Amino acid sequence: MDSSLKRKINNLAKWEDVRKYLETAVEKGEITRQEANHKYARYRSLSSGRKHERKDPILDDNFKKLGVENINEMKNKLLDCGISSSQVDAVLGGMLRLVHAARKDGENFKTNSRIEQYFKERIGLTNTQVGYLIELSKKIALNLSME
């Protein structure tokens, strides 16, 4: 097993532990949802090698216009499927294109091979992760729940 794959597996295991711990703490009333979201943001920034989470107000605004009120929740879902903190912003940018295309094309939406290539080759995502992004983008385009 090469070192990058080991690192990805290790990062996913750490994220799953953090996620479980914080969600349990929220359920028990030990911390609020807002405190958990702050801790998630802190985890994402530290795991990508930054002291503070990078805020992109333009990206946030674009997703709000599409009906995504809490971009942090979406970032957490991306981490849940094994996308690393350092890949999240690039993935969100690509997802914006997917959502706009899905809205424009409606039922006839087909993923452009260039965007799939971007996700796989430039960002380094797996076929499963790309499939997840496509489905999530369709849900956002149709204003469905991200569950």
pLDDT at residue 40, as a whole number? 81
- Residue 146 belongs to some domain of the structure: no
- Residue 147 belongs to some domain of the structure: no
pLDDT at residue 2, as a whole number? 57
Per-10-residue mean pLDDT, the chain, length 147:
60 80 90 86 74 76 90 90 89 94 86 92 94 92 70
pLDDT at residue 54, as a whole number? 66
Query: What is the C-alpha separation between 31 and 118, in angstroms, rounded?
Result: 39
Residue-number span of the structural domain to which 18 is assigned: 3-141
Total domains in the fold of the chain: 1
pLDDT at residue 28, as a whole number? 93
